[in-house]
Structure formats: structure tokens, C-alpha cells
Homo-oligomer: A and B are copies of this chain.
Amino acid sequence: DVVPITRALISVSDKAGIVELCTYLASKNVELLSTGGTAKKLRDAGLTCIDVSDYTGSPECLDGRVKTLHPKVHGGLLGVRGNAQHEKDMTDNGIGKIDITILNLYPFEATVAKGAAFEQCIENIDIGGPSMLRSTAKNHAFTTIVTSPDQYDEVKATIEEHGGTTLAMRKRFAARAFSLSASYDSAIATWFTKELGEESPVVTRVYKPEFPLKYGCNPHQKPAGISSLLNSNLPFTVLNGTPGYINLLDAANAWLLVKELREATGLAAASSFKHVSPAGAAVAVPLTDVECAAYEVTPEAAAKLTPSALAYLRARNADPMCSFGDYAAVSDIVDEDTALILKKEVSDGIVAPGYTPEALEILKSKKGGKFIVLEAKADFKPDSVEYREVYGMTFCQKRNDVVITKDHMTKNVVTKGGLSALSEDAIRDMIVASICVKYTQSNSVGFAKDGMMVGVGAGQQSRVDCVKLAGRKVTTWYLRQHPKVLGLQFKQGVKRQDRVNARVRYIEGDFTDEERTRWEAQFETVPEPLTTAEKDEFMKQATGVTISSDAFFPFRDSIDHASKVGVSYVAQPGGSVQDPQVTQCCDDYGMVMSFTSVRLFHH
């Protein structure tokens, strides 16, 4: 299996380490063949090398376009060693064996990225390189194809140990060479087709495996892994922990949500994800005293919170029962304040553009060291289209890269007062709610107040059902500020999350027998129930809430139901045949409605 090396063909665009490798080969009496810049580099280093033109005896012509496309080169690479006829043919035709090819291809994307003109890009397409690569890889039973500087050490070590290259290594290198050739031509084909403005007859997506996952959506879905697009990289760096498939889906959506909130509002933003939809999201707007009480933070402490901490505190408190075990995202550098809030919560991980050293220390120690910490690359630019395979169909679409701005909320206010009825705060909340539904599984609606989601409805199949589902969350959020809820006197030692849950269950009131017993045991004195009448009375004060919908409201019923939870502002794409009735309905309740013209389905 070991093939000794006597003659090497070298042609590299990336010259890192090439002198060292060739110096080593020369020390083993390997004859070096080379061309152009590579030959010069080797000679400058004092090595002897033969120019390929001299070797083939074919004069250099056509600006070197056909230098290596010669039987003496390819015969030397392709001849089957030990095959009597091949050996004779080689001898008869003066074809010497070439045992190793060391080459790499100048990345075609790099040429394109430099902004080269069409003709220059074409000129840069390497013809001789891929041919030598493929000949050598095909004949790997005898020849070695080296395509990257990161393989040089192994080449040296193997020759040193075995006196030549091993079959196992040659096979591995050959497989990699074909991958390189495939991705090189994929890049050309993709660019070329794009230049023509045509549908490509074949689309190749070339991925670089980055890390394996323990499993996919479920433990029985193995193998699973994460790749980047070739010549790109991942949007996140893993600073701590081992993210899983769903963690990373959460992280992608949670991060995009806060990034866009930040850009649209200029405020620090946070989100709290569960199962690829936000349980909550918010921008940094100061808390009222009653909110402080509901979220168990003193007004003094709240006043000192950094914007990141404030945003996450709000995001987590939209629906703190659902946020249990969330995946968090923060738009700004995570500081100690934010980390200390997260420390108290049960959470799976976080993504943010950066961390202070103190914050990182705190987060790394969560979950026995298993808390996932991802650093988002702030300037990451994903490809504009995304591919997704489902049951043998590959779905391709432009990413949903619409940027939600103030303009969407102000350009088409269809209710009575027109634009003048919209406050800056209302516009901000419309933006917050709309960006939130953009990253919520459809159908979705979201309710916002004071820069904070107070009810997100995900994954529903009827719009009015979705409004009701999210509306119940808004009611629960409001009622957490009811004096009777704030006044609940827990026994000493009842844990934070248990207090959170107990308040919500008190509000919902639909205890099962066993649960009631357990619930009551958390109090010295069993609290009086919160009656429906008390709830209704309290909800009358609800006002200034914004609802955003990922698609138009087909009927007025959604607005009717929204009116029950204090909605004053409505953002929706518009476009239903019933738009006039829906607008009339908003006018009936004195709501302000904007048609954004942007549908935001998300799947």
C-alpha cells in the first residue's frame, strides 16, 4: 500500500508552507516539477526544480494556457503502475511517473468578491489545475493528491514513517480533491448562471461541515450536524455548552428578532424563545412601579438596570410560565446585570453580540456549566436565498429580509384620525409587535405594550382563535398586576419559579383537585379566589395595547375580541375583501389601524 515518492508536481496559489514541504521532499531526493510563480518561489528558496515546459519538451505557448495539458504530465499521473502494457507505453513514449501532485485552486469566489469584470472572472477559471487534480485523484491507487497546506504535515509524517504515502491517506486525499473540484465548479456555475440572469439547469449548494450534533429534532434522528456555506462561515461562535438542533433554530430566530428590533427602535432588545417561537420579546423601556412588583424587582433596582438587563427582564416577563427553559437573545453586549437576571431563571442558552468577562463567567457556570452561550457575529451577511429539503422537494426562497420600519406603520393609517392619532410610542409598539410576529410560527398575532410583547399567539390555524389565545395571555399579563395577585403571601422558601407559576394559576383559576391542594400548600392562609367579576373589572383599565397580525384580518371578529384586552392600535397587512368592515370596527372602538402591506408568514 505504500508508494515511495520520486517525482512531484507542484502548482499552488496559496504558497503557505510550500517551501518547507518541498525542502523536505528534496531532502528525500524527490524530483520537483513546477510552473510559473510556484517554480520561482521554490528556486528563490534555493531548491532545484524543473519547469513543466522543459519536462514535456512542449514549448510554452498560448500564454501558458496548455502547459500541463500534455500526455507527459497526465500519462505520468494516470499510468497504472505494474500494468505491463502501461509500463511499456510509458517507457516507449518517454513518460515518467509522477507520484504526487501538490496543488490548490485560487478560490473562484474570491475573484468574484473582488468585483472583477465578467471577462476577468472567466480568465481566472483554472483549467490545468483541476485536470491534474482529477487525474491524480482518479489514480490514487498509486498517486497522491495534496490540495491544501493543512495536509502538508501529514504528508511529511507519513513519508517519514512509511517511506512513502499510504493507500488510506491517498484515498482520503482523493475524496477531498473531488470535493474541492466539485465546489470549485459549483462556484463557477452559480456565478455564471447569475450573470446570465437565468434559471440554472442545476443548482449546487456546497456546505462545509462545521460540527456534528448529538441528534436532530429528536434523539432517533442521527446523524445530524451543522454546516456553513462554503467560503462563508457560521453566524455564531459557540462560547460555552453544546447547542442542539432546536437550540440553534431558536438562536437564529431569537437573534434576528432582537437585531431587527434594535435597528428599528434604537433601543436594546431581548427575546425569550421556546420551540422556535418567542414566548416574549421587548425593548428597553423603563418599568412602572406596579410592573416592578409583578416582576419581583424593587423600583430602586429597576432604575439601575442596564438597557440589556431591562430588555430581557421584560421579555422574560411576557409569559414567564412559557419562558421556563427558554433560549434567550439580547441585542447588545451582555453585562453582569443581564447575566445576574438570567442566573436566577431556568434557561437553556443565550445569543448576543458579546459578553463582558464578568457576564460570561456567570453564564458559563449556569446549568452545571452546560448553559449554551453563542456569540453572534454582528456583521454576518447570510446568502439572500435559502434552500430547504422536505420529503424530496427542495424549497428555495429569498430570505424574509424585509426591514420593518416606522414607514410601514405610518404610510397608510386607515382609521378616522389618520396619522395624527399615532403617538411615537404606538409606532414603536407596532414595530415591536410586527418584528415579533415575523419570527413567530404562523398563523400568529402578537400584542405589545410599552415596548414589550404581552401576548404572543403562535402556530394557530384560525386567525380569530389565535387572537383569543394570545388575548388570554394579555389578560394573564395584566392580571399579574392585580392587587390581589401582588398581595399573595407565599410561605417562606417557596421558589421563584413556583411563585411565578402560582400567580398565573391563581389568575387562570382552572385548578384540578390535586393541583389545588398543592397550590394551597404554598400559602400560610389560603387566598380568596380572584373572581371573574374582579378580573373583568380590572381589565376595564387595560388600554394602549397594540396588536400586529402576520396576515390580514379576514373578518371584524378578531378586532372585536382584541377590544376586550385594551387594544388601541392595530398593525396588519390589509388586503381582505372585508377591509372596510374591519376598519369600521376599529373606528367603532376608537382604535388606530395601519395597513403595512407586508405579510409575515413564517414556517
Knowing A89-B61, A275-B459 are in contact, say whether A600-B218 is a contact too (CB < 8 A): yes
Partner of A462, one of B79, B255, B324: B324
A-B contact pairs, 21 of them (CB 8 A): A122-B141, A127-B138, A130-B134, A179-B201, A199-B212, A202-B208, A203-B206, A205-B205, A205-B387, A216-B398, A217-B400, A218-B598, A224-B395, A226-B394, A274-B462, A275-B601, A324-B462, A380-B392, A441-B441, A458-B459, A512-B564
| List of B residues within 8 angstroms of A531 by Cβ | none
Least distance between A435 CB and chain B CB atoms (Å): 14
| Contact status B193-A175, CB under 8 Å | yes
Partner of A458, one of B78, B141, B461: B461
| List of B residues within 8 angstroms of A221 by Cβ | 397-400
| Contact status A385-B459, CB under 8 Å | no
User: In this assembly, does A525 line the interface, its C-beta being within 8 Å of a C-beta of chain B?
Assistant: no
Least distance between A84 CB and chain B CB atoms (Å): 12
| List of B residues within 8 angstroms of A598 by Cβ | 218, 220
| List of B residues within 8 angstroms of A459 by Cβ | 275, 277, 441, 458-460
User: In this assembly, does A74 line the interface, its C-beta being within 8 Å of a C-beta of chain B?
Assistant: yes
| Contact status A75-B62, CB under 8 Å | yes
User: In this assembly, does A117 line the interface, its C-beta being within 8 Å of a C-beta of chain B?
Assistant: no
Q: Number of A residues whose C-beta is below 8 Å from B?
A: 155
Known contacts A176-B201, A226-B395, A249-B603; 13 additional CB pairs below 8 A are A58-B71, A58-B93, A175-B189, A186-B186, A203-B206, A204-B205, A207-B396, A224-B397, A232-B392, A380-B392, A382-B391, A441-B441, A514-B585
| Contact status A134-B125, CB under 8 Å | yes
| Contact status B386-A389, CB under 8 Å | yes
| Contact status B204-A175, CB under 8 Å | no
| List of B residues within 8 angstroms of A220 by Cβ | 398, 400, 402, 598-599
User: In this assembly, does A116 line the interface, its C-beta being within 8 Å of a C-beta of chain B?
Assistant: no
User: In this assembly, does A159 line the interface, its C-beta being within 8 Å of a C-beta of chain B?
Assistant: no
Q: A322: nearest residue on chain B (CB-CB)?
A: B461
| Contact status B389-A387, CB under 8 Å | yes
| Contact status A245-B395, CB under 8 Å | yes
| Contact status B93-A75, CB under 8 Å | no
| List of B residues within 8 angstroms of A143 by Cβ | none
User: In this assembly, does A383 line the interface, its C-beta being within 8 Å of a C-beta of chain B?
Assistant: yes
Least distance between A335 CB and chain B CB atoms (Å): 25
Partner of A389, one of B196, B383, B443, B560: B383
| List of B residues within 8 angstroms of A69 by Cβ | 69-71, 73-74, 131, 135
Partner of A206, one of B202, B229, B392, B468: B202
Partner of A218, one of B228, B274, B561, B599: B599
CB-CB contacts of A50-84 with B at 8 A, as 1s and 0s? 00000000110111011001110111001110000
Knowing A62-B90, A186-B186 are in contact, say whether A603-B246 is a contact too (CB < 8 A): yes
Q: A58: nearest residue on chain B (CB-CB)?
A: B71
| Contact status B93-A122, CB under 8 Å | no
| Contact status B122-A127, CB under 8 Å | no
| Contact status A393-B599, CB under 8 Å | no
User: In this assembly, does A370 line the interface, its C-beta being within 8 Å of a C-beta of chain B?
Assistant: no
| List of B residues within 8 angstroms of A602 by Cβ | 217
Least distance between A219 CB and chain B CB atoms (Å): 6
A390 to B61, CA, bound (A): 48
| List of B residues within 8 angstroms of A206 by Cβ | 202-204
Q: Which 10 A-B pairs have the closest CB atoms?
A: A459-B459, A216-B397, A512-B560, A179-B202, A61-B89, A274-B461, A182-B185, A224-B397, A175-B192, A178-B189
User: In this assembly, does A2 line the interface, its C-beta being within 8 Å of a C-beta of chain B?
Assistant: no
Knowing A134-B130, A204-B186 are in contact, say whether A225-B396 is a contact too (CB < 8 A): yes
| Contact status B234-A392, CB under 8 Å | yes
| Contact status B93-A322, CB under 8 Å | no
